[in-house]
Structure 1
Amino acid sequence: MLEKLKHIDWEKFHFLRTDYLWFGVGAILILAIGFLFYKENYAWKKQITKHLRPYVIQKGNSWKMILIRLSILIMFAIGLVAFLGPTWSQFKAPAKKVTSQFAIALDMSQSMLTTDVSPNRLERAKFKIHDLLDANPKAATNLVLFSGSTHVAIPFTTDYKIIGDQLDGLQPRMMPQSGTEFSLLFKKLDTLFTNNKAEGKILLITDDLDNLSIEMVSSFLQQNNVKLYLYPFATQSGGTIPVHKQKSALDLSKLNSLDELDQVEVLEITLDNSDVEDLAKAISAHIVFEDKTDQQDENWEDQGYWLVFPLAFIFLFSFRKGWALNLIIILLCFSSCSDGNKPKKEDFKFKDLWYTKEYQAQQEYDAKNYTKAAVAFKAPMHKGVAYYKAGDYLSAETAFKQDNTVSSLYNLGLTYAKLGRLAESEAVFEKVLEKDPSNTNAKSNLTHVKQAITEMEALKPEDVNVNDKPIAKNEQNKSPEDLSGGGQKATKKDMQKKRLEETAETGKRKGKELDELPDNFKSGKGELPKNILMRKVDDDPALFLSKKFRYQIKKGMVETKKTNNSW
């Protein structure tokens, strides 16, 4: 360490924070002026009896007062120089590691139902996405669905099971606007990869290249740090689009033009899963990047800490009775009672000086800001409860699974019931009773769940054939079996059959939600409402996404455009 002081390169000597120099000089001038014009007030001495003054007050010397004032100025000057950051040597700073993100954009237009790719283009695309996720690309992945509008179905997550659970029920009829509009898709992708420091990856699965502008793709790639994997799901011979009776085929010339772009790679469909396995390996192999944006051209080592030693030496002579205690109190006031993990500069808040992160999370929880509380909590039990109250049941499930206590297991059973996964809820409550046979609430809830499963099975329209063909609105059926207003009189039996067909066609699963969260939920003793079994549980993810997309359009959160074609 002393070698650094012996070999100071004065040619390279400079200060890192010169912008603060004038503030320090101004403070020193204020102190000096204050000392020059300060006049001691001796009025307090008159309060002491005259004959006791010689024993209470010791006569001082004027040079001591001058020395004290001079030492204060010297200490302040040394501290200022240390703060300005004197430096004369450089060091090599390690690069910051950042991870890449991966977006899957799936075409949900009617043409994806064409059967030139078996069983049809959309179903094969779903199979490929499942295989891709099973191959574990390791990157945070999201699912974007697009047609005449673009929607984020699943935000970025590393829990691929969440994406896989949503895939199977996806159908073009759930999209609010038909067609294939790429401008809205790339506008949404632009918001997902704005200012991303690591190179992002996008997998675009589509069968319609006619409406995909090369200029638009090129401009998007130039403005964003991303790589585009284009996965065309169509053949050159093509096929007929159901209902529309239009021909849809792969535009090979457009595909070759897109393949010539620098950041575009075209994938070819294989009968096995080797194509998506290679893609997963390519993504995982380039998932970590070095972030060099924060590095300066020259990294100088701050040597101001050396001045702490003379500053401490001078400060030792300034102790008086009471001052040491006052100094400790001052240090405590400006120290944080948080844990040893130093918060990031951008995340630091003034209340971090006074409250721990856990206490701040509890404050958010008490204020009913459950999402903020869930993020701040570290204990899985507390996280799960906060996520549950925020309505994020999937995150609550993940949190409760990380805790092995009976209380968390019990709360997990309630969460499964809220999600409509009654079979899993039943299994969890049975585990709770195995560990704690005296848990009366678990026994009661297990009875309710079993009854709900029984009533659900009784209401299932299992004998009804579901046709994927969409029902045309305001169209009169002229067949003899018309039950929708064609003029014939329907029997009661026919009407019951029609209701079952409508329920199966729309994919609705009627169900009653849980009542408000019980007050004793947090301790793992909450009860299920006794009237939970009135209707079937809504367990269709596609129906939820369809309602979500239509709500987004209704509220103006998502744009729509009418395309030249209706598929």
Structure 2
Amino acid sequence: MNDLLFALSELHFIRPVWLVLLPAVAALWFAVRRGAADTGLVEAGIAAHLHEALTVGSGGKRRLKAIDGVALGISLAAIGAAGPTWSRVPDPFVAQTVPMVVVLKVTPSMTANDVAPTRLERAKQKISDLLALRAGARTALVAYAGSAHLAVPLTNDPTVMQPYLEGLAPDVMPKEGANAAQALSKAREILSGDAANGAILFVLDSLDSTDLEALNAPGDSGSVLGTLVMLPAEATDPGIDGLGALKVRVTADNSDIRSLDRMLNADYRRNLNETGTQPWDDRGWLLAFPAALLTLIWFRRGWTMRWAAVLIVAGWSVSVPAPADAGVADWFFTPDQQGWLAYRDKNYKKAAELFTDPMWKARAQYRDGQYEQAAQTYDRLDTPEAAFAKGMAHIRSRGYREAIAAFEETLALDPEYPNAEDNLEIAREILDYVETAREQSDTGEDTGIGADDVVFDNKDARGQETTIEPETGGDQLLTADQWMKFVDTRTSDFLRQRFAIEAAQK
């Protein structure tokens, strides 16, 4: 589903009472149109068929008249006043892009080179392109063969996922096979912690019939399932063909991942519309532009008020001089409207500079990482929403005491404000933990905390480089913590060890 189809499916009106003007406008248009046609025949003083034959061009009923522009302009104004909308105002504390778990099949079949360079390498490239397209949205990575393993938990930093993605290879997986059902269960488990629906994207080349039923069954988490098929155009697979999920075959360009991202994101945005608490985003202002363009027809000879528009525009331009540093955008948009355009394009720094509305200015500062400035801006407002947002900004800037005070202020203004009480308890726990750790550090009571790193200084190139081999106890596997202390090798080696530990524990 593209953006246009999504907007049409979610379209409704905030103030639908204004739509009652449309039948009245239609009746007025019909009456004036009919009267104008009858008058023309009477004034001509000839028969209707002779009048039509002697008239150059189309009939009077088909020619554009002044009433057409007036009726259309009033209709656009009425629809705009009704408040058309199809989405809510974005919540700065809720991601506007669907949380996604990418499930990558890592089996020997994925090393086939019918999709250059190989199916697996092309799949990694597509996942990297998807991460760039999603612009920092929360994404997790699951790898599966005979068993499924979480490679990277949900993160909004694509640089964290990249080395683990590159390290995946069939020899890393501890168990042979292709257990897609277990991978699906793992992905749904990851998404179960999210309040909103998420998306699961399988990147694979084939699907066993034993897994088909599990993937076609609806999940309890409400997650949406999509599939990127790593097969050439002429190849088919019975399992994938029977899959009811959104299926897109790999392409040479990015049209495949763009299509998948749009389709998977549509359900998430629909869920935000249904469950969100933000006000609806009134898009009626969009109709002001075509309504204003209709005034241009007043300059036609014989049309009513053709000089009135010129006088109004001239008087306005003389009485309201533009500032010397005003740009072209200032002629058409207010600073808040320009700020919203920058905010929509995710240019939060520019949006924060443009907004004059303190609430939106603070939201832009928060999204840009200016947490202290956002807290100061929120402090100017005396609403529960502003107090709650101020607390979140203080949490981000590690001002836990200020955050506690802000959440307490939120509850004082609105005792039922969503998540305020929970966040207050979390802020108190964080502050207690930080102060306890600081006290123990000052008194030397903290035990079991060793050095962050062990460094052997050899800057002068004296002696030989020494490698310390960890004690593994023969074939005994290291724990994940032990491995992380000694790992100094490729990511694939770390993943192989970690997946083997998980498989052995199961």
Q: What range describes the TM-score normalised by the shorter chain of this pair?
A: 0.3 to 0.5
Is the helix fraction higher in 1 or 2?
A: 2
Q: Name the larger-Rg structure.
A: 1
TM-score w.r.t. the length of structure 1 is 0.39
TM-score w.r.t. the length of structure 2 is 0.44
